[in-house]
Every structure is written in C-alpha cells, then in structure tokens.
Amino acid sequence: MSHQRIVKLTSEQAALIPAYKERWINIALTTTPIDRQKAKESVTAAYLIQGLPEPEIIFFDSPDAAWNERLIQIINLPKKERWQMIQEIQLLTTNLETALIYEIRYQLTPQIQDELLFYLHRELDIEPLLSNELNLMWTMFDSKSKKKVETAKLSLATSGFCNLWAKAGAYLDFCINVLNCTIDQKRWIIYQNLIANIGKLFPMKEQVVICERPCKLLLDDENRFCVTSEPAVQFIDGYQIHIPVRWLW
C-alpha cells in the first residue's frame, strides 16, 4: 500500500469508478443457475472464518418456495425468539462485509478526507441497498399485517436478484485495486466466492437458506424493471413477479 497521503482521487482513478460498479452489477444480475456444490463450499468457508460451526444448507428454487416451506415459520415464533432470529439473520448477513469494509475504512481515514470516503460510498451505492434490504427483511418477518408482509416479501424477492453484497464488493474492489489498500486476502477471496456462487441468502446460526437465482429478468438499459405484460422476474419453479408501475417512482 502506498504511504503517500491521498487527499483526492486523480481524474484517472475517478474515471474507473463506473467500470467497477458495472462489473459488480453484472455479477449480481446473472441468471446462470447456481452450482450448489460451490455454493455449499462458499457458505461453509464464510461460516468457518467467522468461528462458526458448519451450518445445514437448504436450497429452494425461488424466494417464494423458501418463504412457504421454511421462512414463514419465523413469523409463528414467540416475539422474543422471533426478534432474536431476525437479528441473527441480519448480523450473519452483514458480518463478513462489515469486517472487510472496516479494514478499508481504517486505512482510508488517514489518507483521504472524510468527504472522499462518503463520495465513494454514494457513487457505488452501498448503503441505500443494504438499509433497504434489511428493513424489508425486518418487516417481512415481524409484521402481523398480511398486506405489509406480502409487500415486503415481494420487494425482497425482486431486490434479491441484485445480491446484497455486490455493490459493497465494487467499493472494496475499487479501494484494493485502484487505491492500493490492503485487506485480509483470505476473507476477501471468501467474500468474492460467496457473491459469485449464491442466489438470495438467509443465514441463521445453524441453518442457511439459499434461493436459486431468477432464470429470467426483464430490465431496461439502466437496469430497472420493465413494466410489460410479461413478468419482470421469473424463477425455475414457475414463481414470477409482475412489476407495478408505482414501483418505478
């Protein structure tokens, strides 16, 4: 890592941000079926590096199947157990990512003005995605309103194709390869493999639910859902989602 203090991005560095963002969005948007053996290996490695035992891993063909056959059980838990389970999912969803981002943040703080760090976060669009998905997850599991649960479930299913970690991956990738930051390489490799090899993920302490990726996505040139007579998202088990016009505003 360079020891020279960085006070701003060079024009050459700034010009690379869109390429890193695009690369990771393309990873997130893939409709290639997951390799279940690689997915198992990636999840197991992520658990072991955090000092957790190897979990049971269950695959479902869509988020809807995962909800109906496993995740809906969380709603029926007593309130205290339900909250503990939700917090467990949230924590395990973000643990690996948070550790890596803080490694980068710690290095950038003495090198780059705070404004630059916030600029990178904003340009690579990490925080809104993370906050949105975790809020949807909380609503889906904790709300007693059937309408709110269905809306949150549908929203989470459609946001799930754009992997929760992919844009954070763009940020990390940029900092490592453009700003020459150092990072725990083993964690970084595990993190990249996790993103590349799974679909939607619901991690719990002893069990992990993995959903298959969509087999079809209808998106425009700006990667927004298309509103047509065809479903915008389709899964291999027949589950499909039509996007209401109101979701585009």
Domain boundaries, the chain: 11-217
Predicted pLDDT of residue 56: 94
Predicted pLDDT of residue 124: 54
Paired residues of 210 in beta bridges: 59, 201
Mean pLDDT of 154-166: 56
Which of these, 9, 181, 17, lies nearest to 112 by C-alpha position?
9
Q: Check whether 125 has a pLDDT greater than 90.
A: no
Predicted pLDDT of residue 54: 92
Predicted pLDDT of residue 21: 81
Predicted pLDDT of residue 113: 44
- pLDDT tens, position by position, 134-155: 455 555 555 566 666 666 566 5
Residue 188 DSSP one-character state: H
Give the list of residues 6+ apart from residue 86 with CB closer than 8 angstroms, or none. Answer: 74, 137, 138, 141, 142
C-alpha dihedral, 183 to 161 to 48 to 179, nearest 10°: 0
Q: How far apart are CA 41 and CA 5, in angstroms?
A: 39
CA distances from 95 to 50, 74, 90, 142 (A): 8, 21, 9, 22
Predicted pLDDT of residue 48: 92
Mean pLDDT of 176-193: 90
Predicted pLDDT of residue 147: 63
Stated as kind and residue range, the H or E segment containing 179 is: none
Residue scoring higher pLDDT (170 or 86): 170
- pLDDT tens, position by position, 38-55: 999 999 999 999 888 999
- pLDDT tens, position by position, 185-233: 999 999 999 888 988 888 888 889 998 988 988 877 766 677 677 888 8
Predicted pLDDT of residue 75: 72
Predicted pLDDT of residue 185: 93
* pTM for the whole structure: 0.79
Q: Check whether 129 has a pLDDT greater than 50.
A: no
User: 136-141: long-range contacts (C-beta < 8 A, 24 or more apart)?
Assistant: 137/86, 137/89, 137/90, 137/93, 138/86, 138/90, 141/71, 141/74, 141/75, 141/82, 141/85, 141/86, 141/89
Confidence of residue 5 (pLDDT cuts 50, 70, 90): low
Q: Check whether 133 has a pLDDT greater than 60.
A: no
The length of the chain, given as a count of residues: 249
Regarding beta strands 56-60 and 207-211, do their DSSP bridges make them parallel or antiparallel, or are they unpaired? parallel
Residue scoring higher pLDDT (22 or 8): 22
Predicted pLDDT of residue 40: 95
Helix residue spans in 109-184 (DSSP H): 114-124, 127-142, 146-159, 166-177
Residue scoring higher pLDDT (97 or 136): 97
Half-sphere exposure of 119 (CA within 13 A, CB side): 12
Residue 140: exposed, middle, or buried by beta-carbon count in 10 A (0-12, 13-18, 19+)? buried
Residue scoring higher pLDDT (86 or 21): 21
Residue scoring higher pLDDT (207 or 248): 207
Predicted pLDDT of residue 85: 76
Contact, 226 vs 232, CB < 8 A? yes
User: 237-241: long-range contacts (C-beta < 8 A, 24 or more apart)?
Assistant: 237/61, 237/62, 237/64, 237/65, 237/212, 239/61, 239/62, 239/63, 239/64, 239/65, 241/154, 241/157, 241/158
